[in-house]
Structure 1
């Protein structure tokens, strides 16, 4: 007797595979980070994070304004500084958003780029069996042509209309014509995202390897400067740039021309300078919208004004001449400034300076003064120049090592009595060529003015990349908005019914995106040009 063992009909299922929780967390986090929703949220956060850079003065742009903000808001300013509000674009939180957005865009673009390349290499799919269920459908009509000729004619017409076309022979002797159009929509999306990546890369590398400096340059060969950090009124270097990396050049302004409309609105500005880049001096000119392009630096014209020339003669007959820029306060070039003479009234017998005899002049310059005596200019050009000055004598406070503005006297010295006003209640009024005599016999001469230009000298190694990124981004956005994907199919079968002719054609269409004009396009594809009737004309170029 044979004993047959009982065996189970089915084997036991293997135990479920356990997933590493850390790996699952990383995978899900990466998917969330590289989703399009996350990229849009990060882009919005980047725009919001840039708002403090416009609200608060930035150290990299104007350190003086940051100091003024600390003075005006002594309680708020330290907290803003701790949060990076005065250096927003170099703060850790702004860099974190920036890097997350960069990573998210890369994670979005690379898989989509791979899928898009694969889609471009894929032929249009075959026509569905029930084309009457498609959004657009043209009923079957008879043609006099045989199926092969009709299919080739349809394919030629579709290719002329920029459709990707594929003709397939069917088992029953008929033909299928599949056509697809609108792949540039996804191409535009990818170009737009790649352009955003290019802009992000450009901004990042431009910040690392770029630099800029601002300089107020008075006209005259004795007022030139060379490209060095100590020569700038305000400057900022990228984290990867040192002072030794700055290009070598020298600049001096020989002439400045400004023209105005009758209303005082500026019409044109033209600065003429002499430049030296290692060789001899050469003459160049540039305007507001046409910067001076040097080797690894661009010189932009961002402002202009007047610098009165003042000569002070102290009680011992020693004269000092200063060219003092006055900063404009309105569009008519009403300008404010100060001239300080700390090294005057030195006794020649002892060669010692008395700090109590230092002199400072604070006032307003009007290129075109009025007849009513008001301290407001009537026109930005020098038609009737007037200089209003208040004189002060005492300790100017320049030797205490405390930073201060070169365009205003130290108000603390005035308030504590160390610097006293000697001009009385009414300011002195001077015109070019006139001399002012103070109560101690010292004199101040107003010799005239020179024009000055405010220059912004910058270097951005990724400027071309930013331009290309902006142009490509605009092009990609236009393609993604105005291009629509759609598919069209034609099935050409032999005409078997009596009187049906050589073949029977049926058409269907499917828009892959929201495209209101697809119905009109499909109707134009399925009937002869200029004919409102059903398809079926066999002339060349019609469907």
Structure 2
């Protein structure tokens, strides 16, 4: 049993296993980049379920919509961390011992080395920049041992240590970090403060208490976007609290948190007036279905027609910023139109079951006629004399609020990686020896410890060739 455990540990801490686990971790992260993640955008995950109703539940059970919190991802992560520790620590100890150890003594027969030359003038041999050690032998012979290239192993250790640092930073971020998502509609009545109750979705690290969240409030006070003629966005910029602007990949830095702009869309403003003349207005965010911001959503009026649940009103449909044949032709509001279906009945909002605010529960609803296309300012008169007015739209954005204390550590790890990788790729181990014989003759030999096509030129430069003749 002890032998089995020892062999298993050796296999786990081998460089081959570490590289395999690193490759597996990269492959395991692919679904997190390709598929929408709940920690980033719960709305996109819900949209994926609507588009792929059969595939999405299977992927959800496998944890593909929460890849970086999945047990199988954590298992690969921990195995890689253990493998790197077991791989780096012994190599680091060996490297330190090698640095402290003096260069090895000159071999007895230089002619057996790959590079060998007779040196006419030993004073011309240049060992500048080499680690060297001079030895005097009992017979009067003097040897100089010189070596270079320890930066290669230093680079290897820095590279692998950087992976450890990155893993530690990611782990700290997972334990002490937190994130939250919020769909924020323009206007002071839609402003929110940084508390769990006002988030659409959130996740706290095990070491984070809700009371640890930094206090701040955000109100969307402006939004600008620019698009190419084909509808591809050039840029879009949000303004919050009247003076703070941020864009995609340019987050808003707050004390204790960063706010990232993820997406945007339109929220139609609808005013419903029932048969008794009572009016109510709602601003309902519609979620994009494509890059042209063809958006779907619902507007609910649970207080319509008094307290009679059977006469509650709901509308669902599509918003087209630039109306086309059933879809929008451009994401800008060039020819906006709202296509709606009307429903009357019990909306089911008080049954205590959590439901999506972007879909109607039609179990107790009755559809009222055909769909209606509304332009801004249009009024739709229903069968009972009630009216629905399309007053216009407001902009909305989706934001991700994040605090990751492991970011500086990850940044340090990336810096180590960038320093160590070139050193490990371009560093070359090599040795040169010089022997001064008692009869006044001198010879030099060279040995590259790794594949190094340029060593012959370097050997000639050290021994001041062509004064001497080099053989290999």
Q: Report SS of the residue matched to 1:523.
A: helix
1:522 to 452, 459, 463: 459
Aligned to 1:383: 334
Unaligned stretches of 5+ residues in structure 1: 1-20, 275-281, 347-352, 497-502, 537-543
> Could you tell me whether the CA contact under 8 Å between 1:307 and 1:325 is conserved in 2?
yes
Instruction: Map residues 275-354 of structure 1 onto 2, 5 A cutoff.
Output: 283-346=243-306, 353-354=307-308
1:398 to 349, 360, 378: 349
Give the TM-score normalised by the residue count of structure 1: 0.79
Aligned to 1:31: 10
Which piece of structure 1 moves more, 184-193 or 46-55? 46-55
Shift in alpha-carbon separation, 1:490–1:459, aligned structure 2, 3 A:
same
Per-residue deviation, 1:70: 11
Instruction: Map residues 95-134 of structure 1 onto 2, 5 A cutoff.
Output: 95-134=74-113
Which piece of structure 1 moves more, 241-250 or 296-305? 241-250
Q: Does 1:453 align with 2:421?
A: no
Which piece of structure 1 moves more, 393-402 or 299-308? 393-402
How many residue pairs end up in the alignment?
Answer: 468
Q: Does 1:474 align with 2:418?
A: yes
Per-residue deviation, 1:404: 2.4
Superposed CA deviations along residues 24-60 of structure 1, whole A, max 9, x for unmatched, are 5554443333222332343344345545656776554
2:368 to 405, 422, 439: 422
Q: Larger relative contact order (C-alpha < 8 A, sep ≥ 6)?
A: 2
2:359 to 408, 417, 430: 408
Unaligned stretches of 5+ residues in structure 2: none
Per-residue deviation, 1:170: 4.1
Per-residue deviation, 1:131: 0.9
Q: Does 1:200 align with 2:178?
A: no
Give the TM-score normalised by the residue count of structure 2: 0.90
Superposed CA deviations along residues 465-519 of structure 1, whole A, max 9, x for unmatched, are 111112212321221111111111122335x4xxxxxx43312111111222222
1:43 to 22, 33, 37: 22
Shift in alpha-carbon separation, 1:92–1:408, aligned structure 2, 3 A:
closer
Q: Report SS of the residue matched to 2:410.
A: helix
> Could you tell me whether the CA contact under 8 Å between 2:39 and 2:181 is conserved in 1?
no
1:212 to 179, 182, 188: 179
Per-residue deviation, 1:126: 2.1
Superposed CA deviations along residues 293-342 of structure 1, whole A, max 9, x for unmatched, are 11111000010111111111111111111111111122222211111111
> Could you tell me whether the CA contact under 8 Å between 1:58 and 1:66 is conserved in 2?
no
Shift in alpha-carbon separation, 1:48–1:114, aligned structure 2, 3 A:
same
Superposed CA deviations along residues 255-293 of structure 1, whole A, max 9, x for unmatched, are 11111223322112111111xxxxxxx721111121001
Q: Report SS of the residue matched to 2:127.
A: helix
2:318 to 364, 385, 391: 364
Q: Distance in 1 between matches of 2:405 and 2:233?
A: 32
Aligned to 2:144: 177
Which piece of structure 1 moves more, 437-446 or 27-36? 27-36
Superposed CA deviations along residues 119-145 of structure 1, whole A, max 9, x for unmatched, are 11222122211111111222x1423xx
1:257 to 207, 212, 224: 224
Instruction: Map residues 466-505 of structure 1 onto 2, 5 A cutoff.
Output: 466-493=410-437, 496=439, 503-505=440-442
Q: Report SS of the residue matched to 1:158.
A: coil
CA RMSD across the alignment = 2.7
